[in-house]
Amino acid sequence: MSPSLQRATPTPAADALQTALDQARIPGLDALRALAVFLVLADHSGWAGPFGLPLFDGGFGVMLFFVLSGFLITRGLLAELDKHDHIDLGRFYLRRAARLLPVFYVYVLVGLLLLTLAHRPVPWGAIWSSSAYVVNYYQAFTGAASHYLSHCWSLAVEEQFYMLWPLGLLLIHRHVKVTWHGVLALTLALIGCRLGWVAAGAPDEYLYRALETRGDQLALGGLLACAVASERIRLALGRVPARGWVLLACLGLVILSFNFFRGTNVLKYVVGFSIESWLVTLALPIVILAANQPGSLAFRILNARWAAWVGRISYGIYLFHPMVLHPVRNALIRLGLNTDVAIAVSMVAVAIVAHISFRWFEEPLRQRIVHNKHIPA
């Protein structure tokens, strides 16, 4: 059994966090995905916050996606290590490919077709690098030109993480006595790598997009997955909710403050990135617990049907938004609609496209691929 997953004999104390984690879809996480993708859309649409304050930080939304991805992927991998003492890499990669790749390549081809029909320049370098999931490094060295694939750097970071992380966990499992010790060491190494690149004077384009400068955010999610596998830690976290939302509000204010102090790479990547991702990681259990306590306002907000659905289709929303958000917004503004209303309607339009894609293309195809290979979803 993986040391990170060893559990003591159950105690009479209610393990509230385990109860939440045992559900088919962990409560609260879809709402966080909805928040993350809203921040990205609001930022990219040019929607200013009240009094011009930079409240809508798309970069923070992407970081939230990274922590969530690291947490969920690592939970599944640790469970497999605990049960079988190994990871079926072929099955893991096939599941990830079935979920992410088909709609992504459809998006790339549709964008290429539309640009060709409109006789507009085709960003061939971005197309080839996006198709190989290395566009983050392509942008790091060539600049982040604005086109329909500009946002795909974050998808490349996640895909690179998915390729390497299972191998890293296997090595840690086999050669490190306590799994979470190895994950913590790897997380700290990745933070150190980013600090090293900052000290070396690496440009912003590289620091923002490279796997080794963003990987700690995904690894922190993995570290949290190791932590909540411990009954002692889960029971300790289960006693937090009474004051959890006060703590969460304080963390939110601290996180928000970094939007105002990012004038240099040192502040942004050494202070902001390092602290924000740790605070988000600490906040995740509080959100999960709050979302699993019926009767509270937090429960109603975090489990709202619309928020859960937006979270579930958030990948499609993020993927399609450059192709839908700006054209719809601009067309409505030209028709004389208020800018804020035009932005809100354009966001709804993106969600509709993502819903159609998920309901009638992504999910049926994923189920068919997984079913044909007799692999559990």
> Model-level pTM?
0.91
Q: 3-state SS string over the chain? A: CCHHHCCCCCCCCCCHHHHHHCCCCCCCHHHHHHHHHHHHHHHHCCCCCHHHCCCCCHHHHHHHHHHHHHHHHHHHHHHHHHHHCCCCHHHHHHHHHHHHHHHHHHHHHHHHHHHHHCCCCCCHHHHHHHHCCCHHHHHHHHCCCCCCCHHHHHHHHHHHHHHHHHHHHHHHHHHCCCHHHHHHHHHHHHHHHHHHHHHCCCCHHHHHHCHHHHHHHHHHHHHHHHHHCCHHHHHHHCCCHHHHHHHHHHHHHHHHHHHHCCCCHHHHHHHHHHHHHHHHHHHHHHHHHHCCCCCCHHHHHHCCHHHHHHHHCHHHHHHHHHHHHHHHHHHHHHCCCCHHHHHHHHHHHHHHHHHHHHHHHHHHHHHHHHHHCCCCC
Structure confidence by residue, pLDDT tens digits, 85-140? 999 999 999 999 999 999 999 999 999 999 999 999 999 999 999 999 999 999 99
Is residue 375 pLDDT above 60, yes or no?
no
pLDDT score recorded for residue 10: 41
Residue 61 in this model has a pLDDT that exceeds 70: yes
pLDDT digits (tens, 9 = 90+) for 200-239: 999 999 999 999 999 999 999 999 999 999 888 888 887 7
pLDDT in tens, 19-44: 999 999 999 999 999 999 999 999 99
**% of the chain exceeding 90 in pLDDT:** 71
Where are the domains positioned within the chain? Answer: 3-304
What is the residue-averaged pLDDT of the chain? Answer: 89
